[in-house]
A and B are shown apart, each in its own frame.
Chain A
Amino acid sequence: MQHKIAHLNFILICLLLLGFTIDLCSGPTWYSPLTLLHPHTGLEQQIILQVRLPRALASVLIGSLLAVAGQLLQTISRNPIADPAILGVNSGANLALIIGTVVGIPFTIAARFGLALLGALIAFCIVLGLSVTRSGMQPLRLILGGTIFSGFLVSVAYAVSLLTQSTAKYRTLLVGGFSGVTYQAVTLLAITFFILVIGLFCLRQELTLLALNDQLAQGLGTKRNWTRLWAACLIVLAAGASVAVAGNIAFVGLGIPQCIALLSGHNFKHTVGQVLLAGGAFLSFGDALAKSAHPPFELPLGALTAILGGLFLFIFLWRNQEEALN
C-alpha cells in the first residue's frame, strides 16, 4: 500500500509539473519550453514573467484549494457528491463580489477577498440552515437544495450586473477564468494555501477518523463538531479566495477527490496530499486548454469545468444506481 501511494504521488507530481509547463507555454502564441528558459527577446521575457507565470501559479493554487475544499466538505458532510460549488458557497462569494463592487467598494484584491469570504460564509450558513430539518439532514436533499440555491444566487448576480451594465467588466467572475491574474492575487492565494495546509495538518487525525466512521470517531473521543466547524472555516476560506481571483469554477472539488478515492482509498491522511496535487494539475491543464483551444479568444473555464462536472455527476449517479439494483 505504501508503495502504491508513493507511486501515485510520483505520477501526480510529474503531471503537475507537466501541466504547469504546458500552461506556461500555451497562450495566443505558443512558446517552446526552451524559450521559457532562454527568452529570445525582452518582450517574450516580460510576457512569461508578468502574464503567464502568475496565471500558471494561480491555476495550480486554485486547483489545489478547490479540490481540498471539496474533499473536506465531502468528509464532514459524509456525502460523496458534496462540493462548495454545488452547495452555493462559490456563487455566494461571487454575488457578494459583484454587489460589493457595484456599491462602490474598490476592486482591489484585498477588498475582493474580504467580500468573497463574507459571501461564501453567508451562503454556506444559509444552505446548512435550510437543510437542517426535524428529520435530520438528508444528503440528497442538501445537494438538490444547494444546487438550486446556487442557481438562484447566480441569477441575482447576473441581474445585478446586467442592471449596472457591467457584465463585460465582470466577465471573468461570471464565467470563471484566469485572465488578468496579478502577483498580488498569487500572493494572496499562496497565503491562503499556507493556512489551509497548516489547518489540514492539525486536523488530519480527526478528519481521518471522521471519514472512516462517525460513530467510531465519537467513541474514540474526537470532538466531531469542533472538527467540523474548523473544516467548514477552511472550506469557506479556500472557496472565497478562489472565487475572488478566478470566479466561479465548478467540478474540481467534486471530481478530483472522488477520482483519488477511487485510486487510493478513503484514508484522509494519505489522500489529502494527492488531492492537492491532482487539483493543481487538473486546473493547469484546464487553463492551458481554455487559452489555446480557440485563439485568440478564451474559452470560459467555468463552462469547461461545468461540462466535466455534469458528466462526472452523471457517471457517478449511474454507477450508484447499478450498485443499488444489483
Chain B
Amino acid sequence: MTNLKRKHRFGAWFAGLLVLFVLLSFFQMTHGSIHLSLHNVLTTLVGQGDAQSQLILLQFRLPQIMLSVICGGCLALSGAILQLVTENPLADTSVMGINAGASLGAVIFLALSHYINLTQTIGLPLFAVLGSLLGAAIVFIQRRLQQPLQLLLIGIASGTLLNGIILLIELQLNQFDFDKLIIWISGDFWNQDWSYIFVLTCAILVILPFMVRQLWGSDLLTLGQQSASSLGLAVRNKRRNLLLLAVLLAGIAVAGGGAISFVGLMAPHIAHSLVGHKSRYYLPLTVLIGIDLVLFAAIVAEVAFAPSQLPVGLVVAVITMPYFVILLLHQTN
C-alpha cells in the first residue's frame, strides 16, 4: 500500500467511525425508557428545551455518552499500548489483571470511605489508579519479558485472586446487592455525576500530552529491541513510560465505568485490520472504535431489554469475550 493510499484509507475510516459515533449518540439521546424526538433533543442541546427533556438529557443521557467516551477511549488506547510494549497481540488490561487491580482499589476505597477523609469524586479515581498500578506490578514484577501466553496466564491468576478479594469485600458490604458487585467485576456506569466526569476528564487531559510525546516514534518498538536501540531509541525507558501511562489510563477508565473487559483487545485488532500497523494511523482509529463499542453496548444495555436494564460491562463482555476466545484459539503462530 502506498503512503498516500493509506492516508486516504485512514481518512475515510476515521470519518466513518466519527459519523457512527454521532449516529449512536443521537440514538442514545432519543431512545430509553422515555422517548425523546430528534427535534426535542436538538432544541434541548441548544438550550431551549422543556424542563423534562432537559433533565433527561443533561442528567442521564449526556453523562452516559461522556462516560462511554472516557471508558472506551481509555481502555482501547491502554490495550493498544500494552500490546505494543509487551509485543503480545493478546495483551489487554482485563486479561492482565490490571482492571481487577483498579476495581480492588475502588472497592477498598468504598469499604474504608468512613475512615478516609476524601470525597468520592477525588478519592475513588485515586484509589483505582493505585489499584491498577498494583495489578500491573503483580504481572510485571519479573523484569524480563515473559512468554506471551505465560504472561497472560499470570495475569489471569492475579485477576482471579483480586476478583476473589473484591467478591469477599463487596459481599460483606452488601450481602445481596449483586448490581454493585457487577460494577467492579464486569463494569457499569455507576456514577453519572458531572463533577465526577469532570475530574476524570481532567486526569485524562493531564496524561494526554505525555502520552502523545511517548507515542511519537513508538513504531520503532515494533522492530524489536535491538534494531530500535541501534536506531537511537531508549527502548527501556520508553517501554517503562508507556506502560506506566497505559496503566494510569486503565485506572481512570475503571474509576469511570468499572472493570469493562477486552475493549482494549478488540479495538486495536479491528484498527490493525483496517489501516495496518503504523501507529499514526491505527491509534486514533483504536480510540474511536473503543468509544463506539462501549457506546453501542450502553445502548443495548439500556434499550434491548427495556424496561429492565443491564450493566454495560456485561453487554461488552458478551460481545468481546467470544472475540478473544476465537482470536486466541485460531491465531496462527
Contact in complex: B176, A168 (CB < 8 Å): yes
B contact residues, range: 35 or more
Contact in complex: A162, B329 (CB < 8 Å): no
Inside 8 A of B159's CB, which chain A residues have their CB? 310
Considering the chains assembled together, what is the distance between the CA atoms of A313 and B318 in angstroms? 26
Question: Does B279 count as interface, using CB distance less than 8 angstroms?
Answer: no
Contact in complex: B318, A317 (CB < 8 Å): no
Question: Does B228 count as interface, using CB distance less than 8 angstroms?
Answer: no
Considering the chains assembled together, what is the distance between the CA atoms of A141 and B332 in angstroms? 12
Inside 8 A of B329's CB, which chain A residues have their CB? 130-131, 133, 141, 145
Considering the chains assembled together, what is the distance between the CA atoms of A297 and B1 in angstroms? 64
| Partner pick for B321 among A130, A148, A314, CB 8 A cutoff | A148
Contact in complex: A158, B182 (CB < 8 Å): yes
Considering the chains assembled together, what is the distance between the CA atoms of A147 and B163 in angstroms? 14
0/1 string, B118-154, CB within 8 A of A gives 1:
0000000000000000000000001000100110111
Chain B interface secondary structure, helix, strand, loop or mixed? Answer: helix
Contact in complex: B167, A156 (CB < 8 Å): no
Question: Does B283 count as interface, using CB distance less than 8 angstroms?
Answer: no
Contact in complex: A294, B172 (CB < 8 Å): yes
Inside 8 A of B332's CB, which chain A residues have their CB? 135
Contact in complex: B157, A310 (CB < 8 Å): yes
Question: Does A250 count as interface, using CB distance less than 8 angstroms?
Answer: yes
Known: A135-B333, A143-B153, A321-B146. A159 touches B164 (CB 8 A): no
Contact in complex: B176, A313 (CB < 8 Å): no
Considering the chains assembled together, what is the distance between the CA atoms of A297 and B162 in angstroms? 21
Considering the chains assembled together, what is the distance between the CA atoms of A148 and B153 in angstroms? 11
Considering the chains assembled together, what is the distance between the CA atoms of A222 and B244 in angstroms? 54
0/1 string, B3-38, CB within 8 A of A gives 1:
000000000000000000000000000000000000
Chain A interface secondary structure, helix, strand, loop or mixed? Answer: helix
List which B252-294 residues lie within 8 A (CB) of chain A: 261
Contact in complex: A250, B186 (CB < 8 Å): no
Question: Does B325 count as interface, using CB distance less than 8 angstroms?
Answer: yes
Question: Does B168 count as interface, using CB distance less than 8 angstroms?
Answer: yes
Contact in complex: A144, B318 (CB < 8 Å): no
Contact in complex: A306, B160 (CB < 8 Å): yes
Considering the chains assembled together, what is the distance between the CA atoms of A175 and B185 in angstroms? 12
Contact in complex: B165, A307 (CB < 8 Å): yes
Question: Does A302 count as interface, using CB distance less than 8 angstroms?
Answer: yes
Contact in complex: B325, A309 (CB < 8 Å): no
Question: Could you tell me the distance in whole angstroms from the C-beta of A42 to the nearest C-beta in chain B?
Answer: 30
Inside 8 A of A321's CB, which chain B residues have their CB? 142, 146, 150
Contact in complex: A155, B153 (CB < 8 Å): no
Known: A148-B325, A167-B178, A299-B168. A313 touches B153 (CB 8 A): yes
List which B293-333 residues lie within 8 A (CB) of chain A: 305, 308, 310-311, 314-315, 317-318, 321-322, 324-326, 328-330, 332-333
Question: Could you tell me the distance in whole angstroms from the C-beta of B235 to the nearest C-beta in chain A?
Answer: 22
0/1 string, A174-186, CB within 8 A of B gives 1:
1100000000000
Considering the chains assembled together, what is the distance between the CA atoms of A76 and B104 in angstroms? 36
Chain B residue nearest to A297 in the complex (CB) = B175
Considering the chains assembled together, what is the distance between the CA atoms of A294 and B165 in angstroms? 15
Contacts A135-B332, A149-B321 supplied; 17 other A-B pairs, CB < 8 Å = A81-B153, A141-B329, A152-B318, A156-B314, A158-B178, A158-B182, A162-B178, A162-B179, A168-B176, A171-B176, A171-B178, A174-B178, A297-B175, A300-B168, A300-B171, A303-B164, A307-B164
List the 4 closest A-B pairs by CB distance, nearest first: A310-B161, A306-B164, A307-B164, A310-B160
**Would you give 23 A-B contacts (Cβ < 8 Å), ordered by A?**
A140-B150, A141-B328, A143-B153, A144-B152, A148-B325, A149-B321, A156-B318, A159-B318, A161-B178, A162-B308, A163-B305, A163-B310, A168-B176, A175-B171, A250-B160, A300-B167, A303-B167, A306-B167, A307-B165, A309-B160, A310-B158, A313-B153, A313-B157
